[in-house]
Structure 1
Amino acid sequence: MSRIRPRTPLRRRPVPSAVIAGTAVLAAALTACSGGGGADSGSAGLGGGKKQTAISVNLSGKQATAGEPVKVTLADGRLKEVRVTDSKGAELAGGISADGRSWTSTRTSAPGTSYSVAAKDTEGGSATAAFTTAAPDKVNKLTLVPGKNSTVGIAQPLSIVFDHPVKNKAEVEKHLKVTTSDKTEGSWGWMQDWSGKDRADWRPKEYWKPDTKVTLKADLNGIDSGPGGGWFVRDYTTNLTVGRNQIVKIDLDNHRLKLLRDGQQIKDIPMSAGTPGGEKASWRGRTVLMSKEGTINMRSETVGLGDAYDKMVDYSMRLTWSGMYAHAAPWNAGYFGSANKSSGCIGMSDADAKWIYDQVQVGDPFEVTGDDAKGTQALNNGYGEWNLSWSEWQAKSALR
């Protein structure tokens, strides 16, 4: 008698997950209707017997590479909308390709940041995913001058000092955006700050026009400043308004200080500048009023002049990092208008210094001329960029 062997039920072979090389497939594929195919280990089919499809993201996991654009790719069909947001709700801008198959962010992913991806296709399907970029080994920060909502003089540059070295200067400069209300022409220039740190200044071609509105946006979040510098992990912004058109002119040889407003002289003051022939001489050149510091203690040893003086000085107006000021100097009254006998500063009577102090704005140009000087103010000794020609200044841009 023959034996009939029981039939073994056929085992359905699992459908392989959709894989795209070098990408991470979203946990939930786009599905065109509610109750569609369930998710497997990375992809899912569309409901109603439609062709299986999936989307992928080039960054995945909890240690994703920072500093790259985010790219979302659709296996089939056309994308309608993609949103990539971080944990604080900030959204990465981006655009869908002409064929509708992919979306790419216009900015790069920031380090140490969690992102959520939400995508929709033209058939009404949707999917979400998430990834986190690796934390930075080092963070670079910066200081912006002037501060927000400042009103400044016509020579004030925009100035950025970085905490750590910036080797990728060109890449950083690409993300520094200056906009003005009157389309002022200007350029970035790089230097080493007086403090020894990397610094970038934006100077207009000519002095600002009064009432110009200026905004600086440093869109640096997700930018690598290069070896030894670390990552930027936030954006920065500042803005300013240009105030009155006024210039302080200092004639070292004739011992006069004049204030011009809108091209007209409104004050002529006798003064005494630095003693010529040595380190006590004043600097010449076009400098910028850095700060109005009021009454301060000035000590000669801080500027390398031994124990020559230790005084409380009124109406102090800083012109350089090396210690050149304009200020009240009543002890030098016998030399006002006749000789330069100070330790490098521009000295005036109490009354004249107060009047100038009350009139000037941070950012006003102080144009110092004459032979009784020890040379021209250095580029980084305060704001010395106005002593360069326009072409010389442009050459200091990392993008030239």
Structure 2
Amino acid sequence: MRTRAPHLILTSAALAAGALLPSVAHAAGPATPAPSPPRPAAAAQGEDTRPLLTITPGDGSRNVPTTGTPGVTVNHGTLTAVTMTTVAGGRTAGGHTLRGTFSEDHTTWRPATTTLAAATVYRIDATGKAPDGRSLTQRTTFTTAGPAGVLTGYLVPGDRTTVGVGMPVSVTFDKPVTDRARVAAAIHVTSTSGQKAVGHWFGSQRLDFRPRDFWKADSDITVDMDLRGVTAGPGLRGDESRTSTFHVGRAQISTVDAAAKTMQVVRDDKPLRTLPISAGAPESPTYNGTMVISEKHHEMRMNGSSVGYLDEDGKPAYDIPDVPHAMRLSDSGTFVHGNYWAPTNVFGQKNTSHGCIGLADVKGGATETTPAAWLYANSLVGDVVVVKNSGDRTISPDNGLSDWNLPWSAWVRGAAS
């Protein structure tokens, strides 16, 4: 089954890129889940007692009540550290840390405040220890609800970040916009390269801007969002004005040939390295098309239930708590990531995943020498990954930051005007 939940519930573990807000989720297409290692016997019997950190609300949650109390709980272990901070992109500036307290046994943590700021992006990072000494890590990002009758836009990428040449400007609104032309006219995107960015609506709550071709390397982009007093629909107005800038770094484009089972990494028109990969198996091929890295996680959990991959007994077909060097390519679950459970001779020889692009790695990602570690260290959010010669269709432009799959003529024809 290739369907997915409204939000992909992949429990992340540390180092999600600050340049992009995981909570600003885009409309997703059919799922392309993560690959699965052999399931532990206990898990197959429904008796998996693996230690697990749980953060409430879940990763990617939106319109969270401001009076709700977030929290962290650990089962079969202890919490060692928890930080809760605001993230740039919403109505509140990023970088503010909220104080909190642990329970006496260090199995729970709660913030000291019982009221959160409205229309604000929060991130919680938690670490713990399992009884056997293993480290537990998790990161969750969520967004609180905005005031009634007030339109709030969440901007990606973040202010003063450095991104790859494929990074579009993406604004996700907390409420449906009916007067799209008026709202779009209040947002201006300019570049030092002189490239003209044109806006395009994906539905009533997402507005993206991009130039005809990828951004020029080493350029600066400025986004002026002047929504104060702008009517967005009946009984709905904007009330904020802000300016954000980001820098476009070097031009890196990685091309995955699913048939040849290789990834060629090119930077500034010069080949850097060709890596052996394992893409989607024939029954679950990887999307074709141009994708953009939207998140980076040194380690994260991937669970088949979040993307509709279940066994006949209804349990997740896979549950991998520590997928290393994971970089998101789509909202529906496509990642480039390390794979420590497959034999090394699989890479470059056989496509075995549920749709992701796997590279050889080690458990825990505790090395800089594996192909997955090298790619992770040499990649930015906003870098381009092109997949060709796969058995699947081309990814939808609104699935993740895949804007470049919509031809320019169609992009302009549906421009935000």
Preserved contact between residue 286 and residue 356 of structure 2 (Cα < 8 Å):
yes
Superposed displacement of residue 252, structure 1: 0.7
1:250 to 249, 256, 270: 256
Assess if the C-alpha contact under 8 Å between 2:190 and 2:197 holds in 1.
no
Counterpart pick for 1:353 among 372, 377, 389: 372
- 221 and 254 in structure 1: CA distance in 2 versus 1, 3 angstrom threshold: same
Q: Which amino acid aligns with 1:293?
A: H
Q: Select 2:164's aligned residue among 153, 156, 160.
A: 153
Is residue 201 from structure 1 mapped to residue 201 from structure 2 by the alignment? no
Aligned match of 1:300: 304
Structure 1 portions without partners, runs of 5+: 1-135
* Equivalent residue, structure 2, for 1:62: none
- Partner of 1:355, secondary structure, is helix
Report SS of the residue matched to 1:269: strand
Q: 1:185 Cα deviation (Å)?
A: 2.1
Give the secondary-structure state (helix, strand or coil) at the position aligned to 2:228: coil
Question: Which amino acid is the alignment partner of residue 291 of structure 1?
Answer: E
Q: 1:395 corresponds to which letter in structure 2?
A: R
- With over 3 angstroms needed to count, the CA separation of the structure-2 counterparts of 1:248 and 1:137, relative to structure 1, is closer
Match 1:363 to one of 379, 382, 402? 382
**Hey, what does 1:213 align to over in structure 2?**
220
Measured in 2, the distance between the counterparts of 1:376 and 1:290 equals: 18
Match of 1:290?
A: 294
Q: Would the alpha carbon gap of residues 334 and 300 (structure 1) be closer, same or farther in structure 2, given more than 3 Å must change?
A: farther
CA 1:137–1:300: 2 relative to 1, 3 Å: closer
Say if 2:357 is the partner of 1:338. no
Q: Displacement of 1:203 after TM fit? A: 0.7
Q: 2:225·2:242 contact (CA, 8 Å) conserved in 1?
A: yes
Q: Choose the corresponding residue for 1:309, options 315, 318, 330.
A: 318
Q: How does 1:112-131 map to 2 (within 5 A)?
A: none
CA distance in 2, matches of 1:208, 1:157: 9
Q: How many angstroms apart in 1 are the aligned matches of 2:391 and 2:329?
A: 15
Amino acid at match of 2:330: T
The yes-or-no answer on 1:188 pairing with 2:199 is yes
- Sequence identity (%): 36
Are 1:178 and 2:189 matched, yes or no? yes
Instruction: Give the letter for the 1:388 counterpart.
Output: L
Q: 1:222 aligns with which of 218, 223, 229?
A: 229
Matched to 1:324, the amino acid is T
Aligned residue number for residue 91 of structure 1: none
Give the Cα–Cα distance (whole angstroms) in 1 for the partners of residues 391 and 403 of structure 2: 18
Give the Cα separation in 2 of the matches to 1:313 and 1:335.
Answer: 17
Secondary structure of 2:287's counterpart equals strand
Higher relative contact order (CA 8 A, sep 6+): 2
Q: Give the drift of 1:137.
A: 6.1
Measured against aligned partners, the alpha-carbon deviations of 1:226-276 in whole angstroms (never above 9, x if no partner) come to: 136x11111132111110111111111110011101111111111101112
Q: Residues of 2 paired with 1:356 and 1:364: CA distance?
A: 11
Runs of 4+ in 1 over 3 A off after TM superposition: none
**Residues 320-370 of structure 1: CA distance to partner in whole angstroms, max 9, x if unpaired?**
011110011122233211111111110011110000000011001101111
For the residue of structure 2 that corresponds to 1:188, the secondary structure is strand
1:1-400 mapped onto 2 (5 Å cutoff): 138-192=149-203, 198-227=205-234, 230-277=236-283, 280-306=284-310, 307-311=316-320, 312-332=322-342, 333-350=344-361, 351-370=370-389, 372-399=390-417
**Structure 2-normalised TM-score?**
0.60
CA distance in 2, matches of 1:261, 1:334: 27
Q: Could you report, residue by residue, the CA deviation over 1:56-84 in whole angstroms, capped at 9, with x for unpaired residues? A: xxxxxxxxxxxxxxxxxxxxxxxxxxxxx
Number of equivalenced pairs = 256
Structure-2 separation of matches of 1:242 and 1:191: 24
CA–CA separation in structure 1 for the residues paired with 2:397 and 2:193: 27
Between the aligned partners of 2:298 and 2:328, the Cα distance in structure 1 is 10
Q: Secondary structure of 1:373's partner?
A: coil
- Looking at structure 1, the residues matched to 193 and 352 of structure 2 have their Cα atoms a distance apart, in angstroms, of 44
One-letter amino acid of the structure 2 residue matched with residue 326 of structure 1: V
- Amino acid paired to 1:301: S
Give the 3-state SS of the residue equivalent to 2:181 in structure 1: helix
Quote the Cα distance in structure 2 between the aligned partners of 1:298 and 1:165.
31
Compare 242-251 and 390-399 and name the one that shifted more. 390-399
Query: Tell me, which stretches of 5 or more residues in structure 2 are unaligned?
Result: 1-146, 311-315, 362-369
When normalised by structure 1's length, the TM-score is: 0.62
* Aligned partner letter, 1:382: G
